[in-house]
A and B are shown apart, each in its own frame.
Chain A
Amino acid sequence: MMPSATLLGQALISGVLAGGMYGLLALGLSLSWGLLRLVNLSHFALAFLAAYLTYEMGTTYHIDPWWSVLLIVPAMFAIGLVQHWIFDRFKVNELASLLITFSFAVMLEVGIQLYWTADYRRFETHYATWSIKAGPFYIPVLELILCLVAGVLAWGTWLWLRKTYVGKALRASAEDADIAAAYGVDHKKLAYLLSGLGAAYAGVAGTFIALIATLAPAQIWAWLGVVFAVVIIGRLGNPLGALFAGMLIGASESIAMAILSPAWAPVVSFSVLIAILLWDPEWS
Chain B
Amino acid sequence: MAEQVIVCNELTKRFGDFYAVNKITFEVTKGEIFGFLGANGAGKTTAMRILCGLSYPTSGTATVAGFDVYRQQDQIKRNIGYMSQKFSLYENLTIVENIEFYGGVYGLSRAVIKERSGELIQTLGLEKEAKKLVGSLPLGWKQKLAFSVAIFHRPQIVFLDEPTGGVDPVTRRQFWDMIYEAAASGITVFVTTHYMDEAEYCNRVTIMVDGKIEALDAPQALKQRFQAANMEEVFYQLARSAKRSSD
B and A form one assembly: no
